[in-house]
Amino acid sequence: MSERPKLETSPTHSEAIGAWASALEWEAIPEYSRADAKLRLLDSLGLIRVGLTTEAGAAARRMTQKLALLANGRSESSAHAWDPSAQALLTGTLAHCRDYDDTFADSVVHPGSVIVPTALALARSCDASAEDFGAAVVAGYEVAARVGSVFGRRLGAQGFHATGVVGPVAAAVTAGRVMRLNGDQIASAIGLACSMSGGLNAFITDGTWSKWLHAGWSAHGAIVAASLAAEGFRGPKHVLDGPGNLFNSFVGQVDLDRDGLNSDLGHQWLGTSADFKYYPCAHVIQPYIDAALAILREHQLSASDVSSVVCVIAPWAAAVVAEPRPAKLTFGTEMEAIASLPYQVAIALLDQRVDLASLDRVNRDRADVLEMAHRVFHRNDLGLGKSFDGRIELTTKAGQVIVKETRAAGPDAHRVIGKFLSNCRICAAAQHTSADSTVGKLGTAPGYDPRELADALVSSPVMDWRQADAFLRQDL
């Protein structure tokens, strides 16, 4: 008798992603995606550094140092001696703790605060080249875009923080690529990382800090997952498409389109679609700040000319930043100011800018900000919300009604670089040290040199930026 032929089975989604990620080389990535990855890295580096100036960042650093001391049995511990997963826990938390990081509009996932810390934490111990480092960052962004897109905004509706759910999966791919794992190992890492997904939106009620931990925990969990997979610890390969899969476990038995998880990988680059954040606020607020500032500028108005502002907004976004209205007119904590549409628009109108200083207690307590915030209203529009879009209707005291459509600003290298430099200066000032001379020069220069920007990173108190330095030294 002839032997029964073996049935061929298609690879699972995680196996297909693992095979693609393990084979991805920097040279195969299109130039626009390479340039985008460098801006993402630069943005995250600045956020990690400025995160150290916060109470949450300082607490996370103290905890990480204590863990390192216990692990090493020493009275002192440098960042270089820390376990990579501990480094990632810290730097991921730091990068997210000003809510100033990039976001995918369709899923509201913050990729940079998970993916970049993961790659940075592993690059030293793996002796990764700049090319491997860059490919790992691009791979992580790509998977974050695709996994997040399957969920859409369903996670938030179920009370989960999307970054905490999607982050470990995407970062496991980044970790696997830095570690040079094979496709099967990366698929196992994905399977293990999915069991580390989580993160509740409970912080919305009282403005506490669990939200920021979700990014750090995602990076930490991803490194643990990839490290286990490297040692032969097996993870479920059907975790994105089989029984008990990630999607149905978090949002129920709904009909989800998963074809985009691995279709056109290596041909269509979705990771570049994450919107940069140019103001420290919930990302859905950014278009309204841009619109308010543009109206003042274009019509030569000041805050004293404004009678009222109506922000026309998607209902899902209003539930995050505008409702219930009484809660959004209270700014006792930084988180409350970050997630308040009335606060952010009010301070933009009054100061004609919004930056990290706008979140300081002295500004949150200002009577003129509170008074102006009471003149900022919202109206829901079901036609909005496919992206970070919106509309402002500003009425002047003279009775003129000015309407402006808006959406989140696209990638702008000069704005990203300016934000990075500003964050570095804040970090230096908070540490009572002089700002790096290179950063100081670049702050007034008309252009920039990526090599000089890279040189400015070496003074970071967190870790060795060797691979980041090499990565940024490549021509943009």
Confidence tier at 82 by pLDDT (50, 70, 90): confident
Region 340-353: mean pLDDT is 98
Region 32-61: mean pLDDT is 91
Asked if 358 and 260 sit in the same domain, the reply is: no
For 54-69, give one letter per residue: b (16+ CB within 10 A) or e: bebbeebbeebbebbe
pLDDT for res 432: 37
Asked if 393 and 269 sit in the same domain, the reply is: no
Q: Flag whether 115 is in a domain.
A: yes
- Give dist(CA 65, CA 53) in Å, integer: 16
pLDDT for res 67: 81
pLDDT for res 422: 87
Asked if 61 and 145 sit in the same domain, the reply is: yes
- Give dist(CA 220, CA 86) in Å, integer: 7
Asked if 70 and 143 sit in the same domain, the reply is: yes
Residue 366: CATH number of its domain:
3.30.1330.120
Asked if 174 and 224 sit in the same domain, the reply is: yes
Asked if 105 and 226 sit in the same domain, the reply is: yes
Q: Please write the tens of the pLDDT for every residue from 388-400.
A: 888 999 999 999 9
For 109-128, give one letter per residue: b (16+ CB within 10 A) or e: bbbbbbbbbbbbbbbbebeb
Angle (CA) 54-60-65 rounded to 5° is 125
pLDDT for res 407: 80
pLDDT for res 438: 38
Confidence tier at 268 by pLDDT (50, 70, 90): very high
Residue 105: CATH number of its domain:
1.10.4100.10
Q: Please write the tens of the pLDDT for every residue from 409-424.
A: 788 888 998 898 888 8
- Give dist(CA 328, CA 317) in Å, integer: 13
Asked if 269 and 295 sit in the same domain, the reply is: no
Region 259-283: mean pLDDT is 93
Which range of 321-325, 387-391, 415-419, 466-470 scores highest in mean pLDDT? It is 321-325
Q: Flag whether 294 is in a domain.
A: yes
| Between 464 and 19, residue with greater pLDDT | 19
Region 266-281: mean pLDDT is 95
Average pLDDT in the chain: 87
Q: Assess whether the previous peptide bond of 324 is cis (omega < 30° from 0).
A: yes
Plot region of 7 (φ>0 → left; ψ -120 to 50 → alpha; else → beta): beta
Q: Flag whether 471 is in a domain.
A: no
Alpha carbon distance, N-terminus to C-terminus of the chain: 63
pLDDT for res 474: 67
Asked if 227 and 82 sit in the same domain, the reply is: yes
Q: Flag whether 414 is in a domain.
A: no
Q: Please write the tens of the pLDDT for every residue from 216-245.
A: 999 999 999 999 999 999 999 999 998 899
pLDDT for res 125: 86
Confidence tier at 266 by pLDDT (50, 70, 90): very high
Asked if 211 and 302 sit in the same domain, the reply is: no
Asked if 327 and 386 sit in the same domain, the reply is: yes
Q: Flag whether 441 is in a domain.
A: no
Helix (H) or strand (E) holding 392: strand 389-396
Q: How many helices (H) and strands (E) does the chain have?
A: 23, 4
User: In the predicted model, is pLDDT for residue 456 greater than 80?
Assistant: no
Residue where a domain terminates, one of 384, 407, 430? 407
Asked if 153 and 229 sit in the same domain, the reply is: yes
Q: Flag whether 74 is in a domain.
A: yes
Confidence tier at 430 by pLDDT (50, 70, 90): low
Give the residue numbers spanning the domain of 402: 283-407
Residue where a domain terminates, one of 273, 305, 336? 273
- Give dist(CA 194, CA 249) in Å, integer: 10
Q: Flag whether 420 is in a domain.
A: no
pLDDT for res 318: 95
pLDDT for res 449: 42
Q: Flag whether 444 is in a domain.
A: no
- Which two tokens mark 178? 């830095």
10, 5, 11, 95: which is closest to 49 by C-alpha? 95
Give how many domains the chain has, as a whole number: 2
pLDDT for res 179: 97
**If 0-12 CB within 10 Å is exposed, 13-18 middle and 19+ buried, where does residue 102 land?**
buried
Residue where a domain terminates, one of 273, 300, 315? 273
Confidence tier at 109 by pLDDT (50, 70, 90): very high
Asked if 219 and 337 sit in the same domain, the reply is: no
